[in-house]
Structure 1
Amino acid sequence: MDKQVFIRTALASVLAIGAMAAHAGPAAPQPDKEKCFGIAKAGANDCASATGSHSCAGTATKDNDKGDWKYVEKGTCDKMGGSMMAPKK
């Protein structure tokens, strides 16, 4: 019986965390920011991948993936080695 309670509690925790993440939504753009593709570090992207590999912020699995992006100060994307154009799917 204790095993069932543990499993139910763990499942409820996972569902609650997922619900909170879903309500957080993507990062809101600022007027002085622009999307920069290919510069996000693993786990530090601002929203879904342009290539469709994932659909949430903070879920990039590798550094500098061309489909992952972050908001950066306007005019700095090229200097950082990124691209303002999303890659083709």
Structure 2
Amino acid sequence: MNSRNIFANATIAGSLAAALAMIAAPASAAPKPPQPTMDKCYGIALKGDNDCAAGAGTTCAGTASADYQGNAWKYVAKGTCDTIKTPKGMGSLEPIKS
């Protein structure tokens, strides 16, 4: 194999590795855009299924480290948050202190 082929193969391998890294990264790392017909409901999201951060332990969408984490929120239909029951209590329009 000559040096030109080695360089071309290395370039292709590097491009493939970069593409795979982008695919493997969380697709929803940014906050979900505002939803005018929805409320932010704290304490109802499952691990890794929050719509954005609300404090320590989360950085943004999909980063809740535990089920029903009190400082992670998820969008729900307006007026329904405090009717959502979880094993830890009810949903809240404000962060839930643990």
The normalised TM-score by structure 1 is 0.70
Query: How big is the alpha-carbon RMSD for the aligned residues of Structure 1 and Structure 2?
Result: 2.6
C-alpha separation in 2, matches of 1:25 and 1:51:
15
Give 1:43 deviation, angstroms.
1.4
C-alpha separation in 2, matches of 1:27 and 1:76:
19
C-alpha separation in 2, matches of 1:54 and 1:72:
19
User: Aligned pair 1:83/2:92, yes or no?
Assistant: yes
Structure 2: gaps spanning 5 or more residues = 1-9, 85-89
Aligned length: 79
**Taking CA–CA contacts closer than 8 Å with sequence separation of 6 or more, which of the two structures ends up with the larger relative contact order?**
1
Partner of 1:61: 65
Aligned pair partner of 2:47 in 39, 42, 46? 42
The answer on whether the counterparts of 2:58 and 2:72 sit within 8 Å (CA) in structure 1 is no
Give 1:52 deviation, angstroms.
1.9
Q: Which has the larger radius of gyration?
A: 2
User: Aligned pair 1:29/2:34, yes or no?
Assistant: yes
C-alpha separation in 1, matches of 2:27 and 2:37:
26
Q: Percent identity?
A: 49
Question: In structure 1, the residue corresponding to 2:41 is in which secondary structure?
Answer: strand
The structure 1 segments of at least 4 consecutive aligned residues displaced by more than 6 Å after TM superposition are none
C-alpha separation in 2, matches of 1:56 and 1:28:
12
C-alpha separation in 1, matches of 2:58 and 2:36:
26
